[in-house]
Amino acid sequence: MRLSLRFVIPLLVALVAVAYVVAPLADRLTLRWFVRDLDIRTQLVATAIQEPLAAVLTDTVRDKVRQQRLQSFLDRITQDERLYAVGYCDDKGRYAYRTVTLPRGLECRPPGAAPEAGGRVMQYGGTSLHVATAPVVIDGARVGELVIAHDMSFVERRSADTKKYLVALFAALGLVVALITVLIAELSWRGWMAGIKALIKGQTFADAPEPRAKELVPIARDLRVLVQELESERRRRDEAQMRWVPETLRTILHEDLKGDEILIVSNREPYIHVRDAEAVRVQRPASGLVTALEPVMRACSGTWIAHGAGSADREVVDANDHVRVPPEAPSYQIRRVWLSEEEESGYYYGFSNEGLWPLCHIAHTRPVFRAADWELYRSVNKRFADVVVAESRTRNPIVLVQDYHFALLPKLIREQLPEATIITFWHIPWPNPEAFGVCPWRNELLEGMLGSTILGFHTQFHCNNFFDTVDRYLEARVDRETFTITHGGQPTEVHRYPISIEWPLRGVSGQPPVPDCRVQVREELGLPAQAKLGVGVDRLDYTKGILERFAAVERFLEMNPDWVGRLSFLQVAAPSRSRIEEYQSLDSRVREAALRINGRFGGGACPPITLRIEHHDAARVQKLYRAADFCFVSSLHDGMNLVAKEFVACREDERGVLILSQFAGAARELPESLVVNPYDTEQCADAIATALAMSSEEQRARMRSMRSQLLEFNVYRWAGRMLLDAARVRHRARIASGVEGVRA
Ligand code: GDG
């Protein structure tokens, strides 16, 4: 199609040019030339007949004879094939003689009229005539005027011939041009397309497949820089100017993603159905992830694929394992995936939580890798990939893959849905290459993750570790300038997306005022009204540094015995992964430590440690944050840590001090906290002392700064930035395929 167009267009252009430009121009020019020729010819004829005519006019014969002679003389002249008619006007301005062919209406000019500069063209009986006059002079006196008319039909004949030649010439020219165009275009098209597509995709010119258009070399760099600048400028501008609320996510979905299909995959489901004594209840797990992604789901009516783990989950699904949620106003669906005991044990407890979790957290707990767990991890990932494919209604959905339970999923989805946009978010840290290298299946995990279109971590440090790890173990091109890893021809962008909390935090506005929370919580815990309260809220996990925190409290009391009986540290520890031995052992070690410290400094109404190993509801957790004088987050290693952010969000009174581990991602965003090394017991004890002594002005200044950070960078921005990046990648892909489409 395009080939024939390239051929026909130059031809058409040539013909149109002949018809509308060249032919009329040629007509005008030839006419002008011929008129000028005929002017000269008229003068020649007039000069040539001057003498014989004078002889006839001055002959002293009778008038009648002279008339006859004049007639035969002029009739002879008109024998010439081009001379159409002749007339002779006497000195009174009347025809003394005219051949019969002289047009009727053509009158003699008045006797005294000035000589004409040239002839004129007139139509007579369907013939074009050139009519000109020439004076007849005898002995220097003007005695009359000759009117000479030439037949111009020969001009039309010649003009028609000229046009014929011109059309033939231009058609031949057009044909040659068309052939050359087709040839050159065919040769250069591939190079241009390869070059332009590479530039749009953000690759360098050298990355473009052969053949490459040499003409692109000088502009390639400029073009790429321009595209990148425009994009980042647009993103910066958009991102900074947006007010990040759930509505913003809806707008992005409709405007930037044009309502594209969205699927989320996570291990934990956003709603769990459980059966208690008399009825089925719905539980909403307290999770930042659900908070962030639920508005996306509500807006796009997508599908959330997750392990159905609730005791009543099977009772409420339809024949396709779907259940519509949220229960109060259903707007999207959960697709539940059922796992056997064995699968859950190998994939979730085994490989994910005994292998990958300690592998990625530098908390000095050895990862356990069992081949049987790995097999189940692989097969469960495959099951989820098949479900993603079965659930997707389009061939290019956006799939948001959550966390370390699904490292293999991106590649498995990519194999079946090559056009999908897969965004994988890794919620936990990424270790350095040496640490990661101990995993026997490290390459399979990396290759699986590199099936993603975009891969996200909380911090740039984790992104850099990932780049280093891929660089060390895979044959891949790692481009730290464009944050892109290309493996097996598939590019994956790796970016930092620090997760956050919703702002304002749901439920806080319904809480009692802070002074009331202080009083009520102290009463409930049986503490003296004036007691200072520190708080820690965690899943009971060895990465959270609960034992290190207790050690700091112990050391603080050792150093500051006057605080004994006046300070209590409340630790809320939600039971977690309690099937795993390491977690069971942590449970007993934490209990023992609390007992020991309380034995050493306790006895009164204000024990140093108040330990609650049980799940608290979200409102209760918020009330504890509000009642506390300080919150202690001492993670040994943590992707982000949302507890730190929640504590800040609960303190609209701008009081309270946050002590925060430098090994939690949150420390990058909240430097106004008291940042500590949890392994440094002395430093942590000092931080407790600093917190207890901090003036209310300083507390306010620090808290205000942290709150403004969270107001600006909330969880909607976390999700929104990923969606905007997905939109950008899809937009680029569409342009690239559009360039392809133009060619097809
Ligand atoms: C992973 C990464 C990253 C805790 N106990 C109770 C309770 N919680 C809530 C907290 C908070 C959440 O659980 C814990 O979030 P964290 O961020 O602290 O930690 P992980 O669970 O390890 O999460 C972490 C996170 O993913 C998000 O990407 O920040 O680094 O390890 O919301 O409030 N909530 C209730 N009762 C409890 O007893 N209701």
Q: What pLDDT, on a 0 to 100 scale, did the predictor assign at position 193?
A: 67
Structure token pair of residue 546: 């609960």
Separation of 671 CA from ligand 1 center, angstroms? 20
- CA distances in angstroms from 348 to 385, 403, 431, 444, 664, listed in the order given: 16, 12, 20, 18, 24
CA of 620 to the centre of ligand 1 (A): 15
Q: Compute the average pLDDT of residues 211-238.
A: 60
Atom of ligand 1 nearest to the CA of 287: 32
Chain-centroid distance of CA 742 in Å reads 20
How would you class 710 by CB atoms within 10 Å of its CB: exposed for 0-12, middle for 13-18, buried for 19 or more?
Answer: buried
Ligand 1 site-directed mutation target among 360, 641, 648, 715, most atoms within 8 Å of CB: 641
pLDDT band at 3 (very low <50, low <70, confident <90, very high): low
Provide the pLDDT confidence category of residue 744 given band limits of 50, 70 and 90. Answer: very low
Please compute the mean of the pLDDT values over residues 237-248 and round it to a whole number: 80
Residue 158 host element (H or E): helix 153-200
390 and 339 in contact (C-beta within 8 Å)? Answer: no
Mutate to test the pocket of ligand 1, among 402, 538, 634, 710 (most ligand atoms within 8 A of CB): 538
For the chain, the residue count is 744
The answer to whether 440 and 466 are in contact (CB under 8 A) is no
Q: Compute the average pLDDT of residues 93-105.
A: 85
Phi, psi of 62 (to 5 degrees): -65, 155
Question: How far apart are the CA of 690 and the centre of ligand 1, in A?
Answer: 26
Do residues 202 and 196 lie in contact, with contact meaning Cβ atoms separated by under 8 Å?
A: no
Task: Say which amino acid occupies 199.
Answer: L
CA 446, 452, 458, 464 torsion-angle sign: positive
CA of 287 from ligand 1 middle (Å) equals 6
Q: Is the peptide bond before 326 cis (omega within 30 degrees of 0)?
A: yes
Residue minimizing CA distance to atom 8 of ligand 1: 538
Listed in sequence order, the residues at least 6 apart from 534 whose beta carbon sits closer than 8 Å to its beta carbon are: 553, 567, 568, 569, 570, 628, 629, 630, 631, 632, 688, 691
What spacing in Å lies between the alpha carbon of 571 and ligand 1's midpoint? 14
In Å, how far are 265, 320, 349, 401 from 383, measured between CA atoms? 12, 15, 17, 14
What are the structure tokens assigned to 208, written together? 């473009």
Q: Where is pLDDT greater, at 267 or 229?
A: 267
Q: Helix/strand/coil (H, E, C) string of 322-382?
A: EEEECCCCCCEEEEEECCCHHHHHHHHHHHHHHHHHHHHCCCCCCCCCCHHHHHHHHHHHH
How far, in Å, CA of 444 to CA of 13, rounded? 59
The percent of residues above 90 in pLDDT, for the chain, comes to 60
Token pair of 700 as six digits: 């306010």
Which residue shows structure tokens 């540094």? 545
Residue 277 has pLDDT above 80, yes or no: yes
Q: Which residue has the tokens 């990040």?
A: 244
Evaluate whether 501 touches 291 at the Cβ level (below 8 Å): yes
695 exposure class (CB count in 10 Å sphere: 0-12, 13-18, 19+): exposed
Q: Which residues of 429-465 are buried (b: 16+ CB within 10 A; e: fewer)?
A: bbbebebbeebebbebbbbbbbbbbbbbbbbeebbbb
Phi-psi map region of 655: left, alpha, beta (phi>0 left; psi -120 to 50 alpha): beta
Identify which has the larger pLDDT, 604 or 502. Answer: 502
pLDDT category at 268 given cuts 50, 70, 90 is: very high
Distance (Å) from CA 591 to ligand 1 centroid: 21
Report, as an integer, the average pLDDT of 438-455.
98
Joined tokens for residue 172: 């031949």
471 pLDDT higher than 50: yes
Mean pLDDT of 581-606: 94
Distance CA 491, CA 478 (A): 10
pLDDT at residue 220, rounded to an integer:
65
Pocket probe for ligand 1: among 352, 543, 617, 621, the residue whose CB has the most ligand atoms within 8 Å is: 621
Q: Which amino acid is at 496?
A: R
- What b-and-e string marks burial along 52-80, b requiring 16 or more CB atoms within 10 Å of the CB? ebeebbeeeeeeeebeebbbebbeebbee
- Measured distance CA(582)–CA(541) in Å, rounded: 9
Pocket test for ligand 1, best of 611, 624, 640 (most atoms within 8 A of CB): 640
**Pocket perturbation via mutation, ligand 1, pick of 430, 642, 643, 660 by most ligand atoms within 8 A of CB:** 642
- CB count within 10 Å of CB 279 equals 8
Confidence of residue 231 (pLDDT cuts 50, 70, 90): low
The share of the chain scoring above pLDDT 70, in percent, equals 90
pLDDT (mean) for 403-410: 98
* pLDDT one-digit tens code per residue, 278-312: 899 999 876 767 877 887 898 888 999 999 999 99
One-character DSSP codes across 664-711: BTHHHH-TTSEEE-TT-HHHHHHHHHHHHH--HHHHHHHHHHHHHHHH
Q: Cα of 641 to ligand 1 centre, how many Å? A: 7
Per residue, what are the HEC states of 711-724? HHCCHHHHHHHHHH
Model-level pTM?
0.72
DSSP 8-state code for residue 513? P
Ligand 1 atom, smallest distance to 429 CA? 30
* Distance in Å, CA 288 to ligand 1 centroid: 7
What value does the mean pLDDT of the chain take? 89
For residue 617, the ligand 1 atom closest to its alpha carbon is 39
The yes-or-no verdict on residue 416 having pLDDT over 80 is yes
pLDDT of 368 over the 50 cut: yes
Model confidence at 343: pLDDT above 70: yes
Contact 654, 647 (CB under 8 A): no
Q: Compute, in degrees rounded to 10, the torsion defined by CA atoms 402, 407, 411, 412.
A: -80
Residue pair 410/274 in contact by the 8 Å Cβ criterion: no
Which CA distances in Å does 138 have to 117, 142, 144, 259? 21, 6, 9, 100
β-pairing verdict for 630-633 and 532-539: parallel
Please say whether the beta carbons of 198 and 205 come within 8 A: yes
CA angle, 626 then 628 then 630, to 5°: 120
Which tens digit of pLDDT belongs to each residue from 145-199?
888 888 888 777 787 777 788 777 877 887 887 787 777 777 666 766 666 666 6
Cα 431 off chain centre by = 30
Residue closest via CA to ligand 1's atom 1 equals: 427
Grade residue 113 by pLDDT with cuts at 50, 70 and 90.
Answer: confident
CA–CA gap between residue 286 and residue 88 (Å, rounded)? 119
Omega prior to 504 cis, within 30 of 0: yes
Task: Spell out which residues line ligand 1, taking CB within 6 angstroms.
Answer: 286, 288, 427-428, 499, 537-539, 572, 574, 615-618, 621, 638-643, 646
Predicted local confidence at residue 225, as pLDDT = 59
Tokens of 503: 């702002």
pLDDT band at 240 (very low <50, low <70, confident <90, very high): confident
- 179 vs 5, 165, 169, 186, 336, CA distance in Å? 11, 21, 16, 11, 62
49-63, 227-241, 720-734: least confidently modelled range: 227-241
CB 602 within 8 A of CB 608: yes
224 pLDDT tier (thresholds 50, 70, 90):
low
Digit-coded pLDDT (tens) for 525-569: 999 999 999 999 999 999 999 999 999 999 999 999 999 999 999
User: Before 608, cis peptide (omega within 30)?
Assistant: no
Of residues 650, 641, 704, the one with CA closest to residue 675: 641
- Chain centroid offset of residue 517 CA: 47
Distance, CA of 548 to CA of 554 (rounded, Å): 10
Are 133 and 116 in contact by the 8 Å Cβ rule? The answer is yes
